[in-house]
Each structure stands twice: as C-alpha cells, then as structure tokens.
Amino acid sequence: MQTLRYLWAAPNTALAVGIGLLLFARFRIVEGVVEMHGPMVAWVLRRLPVSALALTLGHAVFGQDAIALDQTRRHEHVHVRQYARWGLFFIPLYLGWSVWLYLRGRDGYMENPFEIEAYAVDDASKPHRCPE
C-alpha cells in the first residue's frame, strides 16, 4: 500500500526534485520524504504569495534551511500524507479551496481545510510563515 501512495504522488515528487536540482538544493531523506534546502530555495520561498519557511510538493519538502525543515516537519508531513491521499488532485483541490475562501472574504490559507488539518499537529497560533 505504501508503494501505491508513493506512486500516486510521484509526478509531484519528481517535479519537486527537478526544481530542487535547478535551485542547487541540498538533499536529504527523512522518514521517507525528500527534504531540500539552500540559499536559492530560501529565496524562492520568501517570495511566494504566502511567504513560507517550508513547502510540500508530493513526497518532497522545500525548506529555507535545515532548521526550518526541522521546525516544520510535523506540519509538512501532514501535507505529504495529503498528497498520498489525493495524488495529482491535491494541488487543484488546495488552490480551489483557497480561491473559494478568498472570494468569500475569508482567509484562503488559514481557513483552508488542508492547512487546518496540518496545523492540528502543532500550535495553530504560530503558523509557519516568515515574519513580514
């Protein structure tokens, strides 16, 4: 069953690894998840519409640095499990929820069901966003 979960998320994971290579990321595998960090990864994560310490794509997690990966691992591994559950549908579902919430005047990030599930494993009062 675990193999099927990896295969279901494999296209997103492969994309993440490719991006990591382009960004000259440092790679490591922790608990079956590819983790990547480095200066160029940090630069990209800080410039996303929602600046982040870490971001998950398939069974891969980008972090600004090794410390950020350690701090956000529990949260990001919830997203890894969500990718294992939803596969290629994860990104459209996540973005669809965010847009739907935003169009209703709500917080498309903190009120997104995928984030609610991920923040349930840690202190939701301390979201893993970069300071402004």
The b/e string for 71-90 (b: 16+ C-beta within 10 A; e otherwise) is: bbbebbbbbbebbbebbeeb
Whether 132 maps to a domain, the answer reads: no
Range of the domain at 41: 2-87
Residues in the chain: 132
All residues at 6 or more sequence positions from 108 whose CB lies less than 8 Å from its CB, including other chains? 97, 98, 99, 100, 101, 102
Lowest-confidence segment of 21-30, 86-95, 123-132 by average pLDDT: 123-132
The DSSP call for residue 11 is: H
102 belongs to a structural domain:
no
pLDDT tens readout for residues 99-121: 999 999 999 999 999 999 999 99
Residue 64 lies in a domain: yes
The answer to the question of residue 75 being in a domain is yes
Q: Outline where DSSP puts E strands in the chain.
A: 26-30, 33-37, 54-56, 60-63
Residue 96 lies in a domain: no
User: How confident is residue 126, by pLDDT bands cut at 50, 70 and 90?
Assistant: low
Q: How far is CA 63 from CA 20, 28, 35, 107, in A?
A: 11, 11, 7, 23
* Domain assignment of residue 17, yes or no: yes
Tally of structural domains, the chain: 1
Is the distance from CB of 129 to CB of 110 less than 8 angstroms?
A: no
Tell me the pLDDT tens digit for each residue of 61-73.
Answer: 999 999 999 999 9
Confidence (pTM): 0.88
Residue 21 in domain: yes
Alpha carbon distances (Å) from 51 to 14, 33, 63, 87, 93 = 23, 22, 11, 24, 20
Q: 108 lies in a domain?
A: no
